[in-house]
Amino acid sequence: MPFLHANRCVGKHAATPAVGGLAPVAYAKQMAAAYDFQDIEQRWRERWERDGLAVARPDAKREKYYVLEMLPYPSGDLHVGHAKNYTIGDAIARSMRMLGYNVLHPMGWDAFGLPAENAAIQRGIAPAAWTLSNIANMRRQLRLMGTSYDWSREIATCTPEYYRWNQWLFLRLYERGLAYKREAPVNWCPKDATVLANEQVIDGRCWRCDTPVERRNLSQWFLRITEYADRLLDGLEHLDGWPERTRTMQRNWIGKSEGAQFSFAIDGADERIEVFTTRVDTVYGVTFLALAPEHPVVTCIKGLVPPESARAIDAFAESLRSKSELERTSLMEKQGLFTGAYAIHPLSGARVPIWVTNYVLAEYGTGAVMGVPAHDERDFDFARKHALPIVRVIVPTGSSLAADAPSAEAFVEDGTLVGSGAFDGMPSAEARRAIAAELARRGIGNATTNYRLRDWLVSRQRYWGTPIPIVYCEACGEVPVPDEQLPILLPPDAPITGEGSPLARLPSFIETRCPKCGAPARRESDTMDTFFESSWYYLRYLDPRNERAPWAREAADAWMNVDQYIGGSEHAVLHLLYSRFFYKFFHDCGWVSGPDEPFARLFHQGMLLANGEKMSKSRGNVVGIDETAEKNGVDAMRLFLLYVTPPEDTSDWTDEGINGRVRFVNRVWRACEPLAARARSADVRALPVCTTPDEKALVRAVHLAARSLVEETMSRRFHYNTTIARLDETINALTTAVGVAPDSPATLYAVHAVPLLLAPFAPHIADELWSRYGYERSVHLEAALAPEEAALALDEITLVVQVNGKVRARIACAPSISESEAFELAEAEPALRVYLDGKEVRKRFYVPGKLVNFVVG
RNA sequence: GGGGAAGUGGCGGAAUGGCAGACGCAGCCGCCUCAAAAGCGGCCGAGGCAACUCAUGUGGGUUCGAGUCCCACCUUCCCCA
């Protein structure tokens, strides 16, 4: 490493008596105050662990505070990007403890998932062994960071003790009809060889490996999240502690739209075609029907048309079969084929040609769309391309445009109806109600609501996950495994090759007996989506060793809801939506009480770059926790991560930046440690009597920092960058004071206060100083320093004097100055003569204790 | 195309509608040292000898007073399509 830190060398050598060249005396003098962060940090971590500093127990006397960082996947090694997230959470946890709350701050592992299987395929390591060794390493690294987790509550989702409750919860969902199996076109990732939920397909690609997903018809397990669509939507209204954009994303994902569903008769057949539209006011403008080629009614249509047309339809469907949703709706041109069949318009009776197209998907809405080119952009493009008529039925209100006037683009806004029979002249909104009512009267339609949200596909054809507790019996069919047979253990000896489902090829796992009739039967070989585990883990922390239930109701009552949740915004519609769904289900079952939302407040931390670039192994710019702890110290690392930007912003790890915080830690040490013996006296806790302006300013700096800590924590803004800036000012003032008046009560008061202020951010040096001051008990068990008005008040303020809004003078005066005194003093100011003499003061403004403004004309 | 967030020194950033640039980084000067590092002290938006003037993406507006509020535009990022 070319860049060797001076203080690291000092730290290493401090214990060695003589070092080359330097006389022992000079050496001792120079090194006396050196801060040996490595040994000291290590020692405190061990002591906190021994003392159970972070172990949480219910306590009726103190208000509870549940702060939680998103459960990490144990990928192997932590870097400073991960550290940012955990540092924010730990600063909050430590601050809240010192502010008197009973803090619960647990940690665990989202331990099932594909990377463990990939390690098995590539390196022949068993997924369990790989995962457990990663957990051991990451647990060590989290401890190294000085985080205050209650490790007695640690969980790993891949243990039978945890996943048996996955199975148990799955069965409860199954009993209530919320888990079901059906065949459907689903997203298939060819690389991971498994299906994916809609939420796990980002821009048509697998969220894990970025491979374009394919469509396949498969029989899969789903959870009926759509049953909760309205409640998931309505609940967002009250989540004031969530970022607005996350709520908006969930709203958009649920995608509720009010409209009408009705059907078109097919000319020459008994079947009908259902369509959904939010714009039923444009129904007289329908000039074609567009079907997804997979739509069931296509079979019927093929019977109505000549064989060559039927063959063309099949060929068209075949060409789209494996194309992803993204390709079909966004990337490809709008393709279509006239089937040769016609539908009958339900109101006008007109014959409407039926087309199959790539841009209508079988899985959305009804799989059929009424084509209104005059008033929908996609329909307009399609009609232009295929020379279909464009019939205008809405005109801008107040315009006299004729229905047959040619248009250059679709008019998609509301307006007034024309060419719409009895509905002519109606405004769009009224027409939507009237036409829906007319369709209902004729018995062919209804006003209805549509959602974009689909049911959650939870089965995976992979090994390293929770086995789904279902058995298939010839006689009894699909049979749920009884609770007393749980857990269904994941067999350790499945063949993991990356091809096909490992469990499906393991007879010792598959072959079983029917729980109902005892006949030979087959187990379900699919495992659960790992998002299943992470949708309820925050409850397991509350009662982690319970063997009779996933958690006891009393435990949930004592600790829920999560007061502050911290994690990346990439989970806005995945984990955060699934968890809300589960929690509402638990609420319905009576397993939790209180609000039916799991996370009262949500905080998304910003990314961390390294020297302006995204950290990645391929770039070779990953800054590891271990190296940083050794080189710079953990306290400096934590301070830097909190200081560099507000926590929600993207920040940049730089060598210069971390250096600045290393210097800060050393300055703290040099200012406080030499006075440790004198900071022991009892009277340093009371506000000191200050004799000079500098002393007054020093004590004020201490209380400004104390106030910032309380405000940033209690406001839930967590902009600790500003708190640490106040600490910088405190240490700057203290460094000067130590040089000038090391024995003054103000100096000793500040020296004593520093560890209390520093504790949430730099916990090690805070406790080390505290113990050197003579305290037996950890500083982290002390109450935070309460900001005091007496210390914050200024003896003298600077009154700014403006003329017409421009600063023309500054006057020192007492803070208690009255409005009339302020005007009097300002008008007497010689510097203002030039601006005021001979002019009329038309108005005067006074901002108490701050500013006077004269408006002259 | 629609929606949202943000644009402040060389850099990261600070600023309940009231002294723009706190604090840090980088840089420059000095002290200490045989010397260097570390440390300590000072300077550090632009123009001007100065009084002052200009300056928070651009252009308008509200206000005694706007980085902050409103409108339009430009740029960047995020989400949706």
The domain limits of chain A are 1-34, 163-224+455-528, 257-450, 625-792, 797-856
Residue A277 one-letter amino acid: T
Compute φ and ψ for A97, nearest 5 degrees. -60, -45
pLDDT of res. A35 = 85
Degrees to nearest 5, angle at CA A349 with A347 and A354: 105
pLDDT score recorded for residue A19 = 31
pLDDT reported for residue A30 = 39
Looking across all nucleic acid strands, the nucleotide with the smallest C1' to CA distance from residue A725 is B23
CATH architecture of A797-856: Roll (3.10)
- Lowest mean pLDDT, pick from A184-188, A443-447, A814-818: A184-188
Residue A725: CB less than 7 A from any atom in strand B: yes
Helices then strands, counting H and E runs in chain A, come out as 28, 32
A233: Cβ contacts below 8 Å, ≥ 6 apart = A250, A251, A254, A256
State the pLDDT at residue A404: 53
A811-822 as b/e: b if 16+ CB within 10 A: beeeeebeeeeb
CATH fourth-level superfamily of A625-792: Isoleucyl-tRNA Synthetase; Domain 1 (1.10.730.10)
Strands A288-291 and A368-371: antiparallel
- pLDDT band for position A16 (cuts 50, 70, 90): very low
In the numeric block, the tokens 């888990």 are attached to A179
What's the pLDDT score for residue A2?
Answer: 31
Q: Is CATH 3.90.740.10 the right assignment for the domain spanning A257-450? A: yes
CB-proximal positions of chain B, under 7 Å: 3-5, 12-16, 18-20, 22-26, 37-41, 52-53, 64-66, 78-81
A680 touches strand B (CB under 7 A): no
Is the pLDDT at A12 greater than 80? The verdict is no
CB atoms under 10 Å from CB of A711, counted, come to 14
pLDDT tops 80 at residue A775? yes
Where would I find the beta strands (DSSP E) of A641-692?
Answer: 651-653
Is the predicted pLDDT of residue A316 greater than 90, yes or no? Answer: no
Residues 6+ apart with CB under 8 A from A29: none
For residue A112, the one-letter residue type is F
Residue nearest to nucleotide B65 (CA to C1'): A805
Q: Which of A316-325, A495-504, A597-606 has the highest mean pLDDT?
A: A597-606
Please determine whether the domains at A625-792 and A797-856 fall in the same fold group of CATH.
no
Rounded to a whole number of angstroms, the distance between the first and last alpha carbons of chain A is 68
A657: the nucleotide nearest its CA (via C1') is B25
Rounded to whole angstroms, how far apart are CA atoms A791 and A704? Answer: 9
Write the pLDDT tens digit of every residue in A179-219: 999 988 788 888 777 888 777 777 677 777 778 788 788 88
pLDDT per residue as tens digits for the range A626-656: 999 999 999 999 999 999 999 988 888 988 8
Give the pLDDT confidence of A252-301 residue by residue, as tens digits.
888 888 888 899 999 888 889 999 888 888 899 899 999 888 888 888 88
Asked whether A132 and A139 are in contact (CB, 8 A), the reply is no
Confidence of residue A779 (pLDDT cuts 50, 70, 90): very high
* Half-sphere exposure of residue A262: CA atoms within 13 angstroms, side-chain side: 30
Judge whether residue A616 contacts strand B, using its CB and a 7 Å cut-off. Answer: no
- The answer on pLDDT for A28 being more than 70 is no
d(CA A653, CA A642): 11
Q: The complex's ipTM?
A: 0.94
Instruction: Determine the average pLDDT of the residues in A716-720.
Output: 93
Does residue A810 reach within 7 angstroms of strand B, measured from its CB?
A: yes
Give the pLDDT confidence score for residue A441 in this predicted structure. Answer: 92
Top mean-pLDDT range of A20-29, A194-203, A569-578, A749-758: A749-758
Alpha-carbon distance of A788 to A726, in angstroms, equals 16
Mean pLDDT over all residues of chain A? 86
Chain segment A655-690, per-residue pLDDT in tens: 889 999 999 999 999 999 999 988 877 677 889 988
Q: How far is the CA of A731 from the C1' of B43 (A)?
A: 21
pLDDT band, very low/low/confident/very high, at A625 (cuts 50, 70, 90): very high
Q: What is the structure's pLDDT at A646?
A: 92
Query: Is residue A588 classed exposed, middle or buried when 0-12, 13-18 and 19+ CB atoms within 10 A define those classes?
Result: middle
